[in-house]
């Protein structure tokens, strides 16, 4: 018998996880369900609107934001396995409606209940033990939006510290951007590749065999560069390790015959 009714959590999967890494989405579902949440994944979601917002198309960004607000505002909590998408909803939706008091009110109400996944697990649900096992030495990439807009840094580390068999080695330049930047990585490929090459060099310097992070955009970028250089370092979304679901799919950028 449950003491209190289950928290109904709306999961905003993110467009990149939906298309590129469903396993990370299911890992997020598992972590939330293990914690006693009732997880709902609304079909009416597509993307949080960052591509439009960061390209200067405020009208499209507003239209998409209204769609997200309408879809998710009924939930107790909205959880997003991405720092940059969570930052978009929490910080930028209210700014998008600076001229529209009614929508801004709704955006603010949603922002208050929106959480990045690792923060939700640690700070809202108070979880510190993952109960997972992963054999390896990992390093962690702090995605810029999560780090600077939401202060996501200690939360994933706190959870990873409880993973049996996992040893975490920190990156020397953990504050540096990986060069993804959404459309930046294809608009300025030479700059982006230079930045991700620097990041990859410092990942390799740690001697880790696994790279983890909380934002799929950065992980696709880093995995893409690692694989181009022939590196065997495995890349996963942090949720996949915490939910012990790394074995459910080959690492990002790898397949059954990838070598």
Partner 1 sequence: MNTTAHGFKERSVKALQNTTLQEALARAYGGFVHKRQAAIDALPEFDALCEQARRIKDHALDHLDHYLEGFEAALTAEGGKVHWARTPEEACQQVVAICRAHQARRITKGKSMVGEEIALNEALEANGFEVVETDLGEYIIQLAKEPPSHIIAPAVHKTRGEIAQLFHTFHQRIERSQPLAEVPDIVEESRQVLRSVFLSADVGITGANFLVAETGSVVLVTNEGNGDLVSTLPPVHIVVSSIEKVVPTLEDVTTLLRVLGRSATGQAMTAYTSLLTGPRRADDRDGPSAMHVVLVDNGRSAMLGTAFRDMLRCIRCGACLNHCPVYGAIGGHAYGWVYPGPMGAILTPRILGLRAAPDLPQACTLNGRCQDVCPVHIPLPALLRKLRMEAFTQRITPPRARFPLALWALLAKHPRLYHGVMTLAAGLLGRLGQRRGRFRTLPFARGWTEGRALPTPAVQTFQSCWKHRRRSDPS
- What part of residues 119-138 is at the interface with partner 1 (CB under 8 A)? none
Minimum Å gap between C-beta 161 and partner 1 is: 25
Q: Of residues 33, 35, 51, 158, which one binds partner 1 by CB under 8 A?
A: 51
- What part of residues 187-246 is at the interface with partner 1 (CB under 8 A)? 187-198, 220-221, 223-225, 227-228
Minimum Å gap between C-beta 145 and partner 1 is: 7
Minimum Å gap between C-beta 121 and partner 1 is: 19
Q: Of residues 43, 99, 101, 126, which one binds partner 1 by CB under 8 A?
A: 43
What is the distance between the alpha carbons of residues 231 and 206, in angstroms, rounded to a whole number? 14
Which residues 6+ apart lie within 8 Å of 245 measured at CB? 23, 26, 27, 30, 239
Contact status: 184 vs partner 1 (CB under 8 A): yes
Residue (84 or 206) nearer to partner 1, CB: 84
- What part of residues 84-123 is at the interface with partner 1 (CB under 8 A)? 95
Contact status: 81 vs partner 1 (CB under 8 A): no
Minimum Å gap between C-beta 126 and partner 1 is: 26
Contact status: 149 vs partner 1 (CB under 8 A): yes
Q: Of residues 12, 64, 111, 208, which one binds partner 1 by CB under 8 A?
A: 64
Query: How many residues make contact with partner 1 (CB under 8 A)?
Result: 75
Q: Which stretch binds partner 1 (CB under 8 A): 106-114, 126-134, 169-177, 203-211?
A: 169-177
Minimum Å gap between C-beta 129 and partner 1 is: 26
Q: Of residues 55, 70, 105, 164, which one binds partner 1 by CB under 8 A?
A: 55
3-state secondary structure the chain: CCCCCCCEEEECCCHHHHHHCHHHHHHHHHHHHHCCCEEECCCCCCCCCHHHHHCCCHHHHHHHHHHHHHHHCCCCEEEECCHHHHHHHHHHHHHHCCCCHHHHHHHHHHHHCEEEHHHHHHHHCCCCCCCCEEEEEEEEECCHHHHHHHCCCHHHHHHHCCCEEEEECCCCCCCCCCCCCCCHHHHCHHHHHHHHHHHHHHHHHHCCCEEEECCHHHHHHHHHHHHHCCCCCEEEEHHHHHCCCHHHCCCCCCCCCCC
């Amino acid at each position: 018998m449950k003491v209190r009714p289950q928290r109904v959590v709306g999961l905003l999967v993110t467009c990149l996880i939906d298309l590129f890494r469903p396993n990370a989405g299911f890992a997020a579902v598992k972590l939330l369900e293990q914690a006693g949440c009732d997880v709902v994944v609304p079909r009416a979601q597509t993307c949080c609107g960052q591509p439009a917002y960061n390209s200067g198309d405020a009208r499209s960004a507003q239209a998409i934001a209204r769609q997200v607000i309408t879809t998710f505002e009924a939930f107790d909590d909205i959880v997003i396995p991405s720092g940059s998408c969570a930052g978009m909803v929490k910080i930028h939706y209210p700014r998008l409606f600076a001229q529209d008091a009614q929508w801004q009110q709704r955006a603010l109400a949603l922002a208050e209940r929106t959480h990045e996944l690792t923060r939700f697990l640690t700070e809202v649900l108070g979880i510190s033990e993952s109960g997972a096992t992963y054999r390896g030495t990992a390093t962690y990439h702090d995605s810029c939006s999560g780090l600077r807009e939401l202060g996501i840094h200690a939360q994933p580390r706190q959870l990873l510290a409880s993973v049996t068999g996992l040893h975490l080695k920190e990156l020397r330049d953990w504050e540096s951007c990986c060069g993804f930047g959404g459309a930046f990585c294809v608009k300025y490929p030479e700059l982006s590749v230079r930045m991700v090459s620097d990041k990859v060099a410092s990942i390799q310097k740690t001697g880790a065999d696994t790279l983890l992070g909380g934002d799929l955009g950065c992980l696709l970028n880093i995995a893409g560069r690692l694989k181009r250089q022939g590196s065997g370092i495995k890349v996963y979304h942090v949720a996949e390790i915490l939910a012990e679901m790394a074995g459910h799919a080959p690492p990002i950028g790898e397949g059954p015959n990838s070598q």
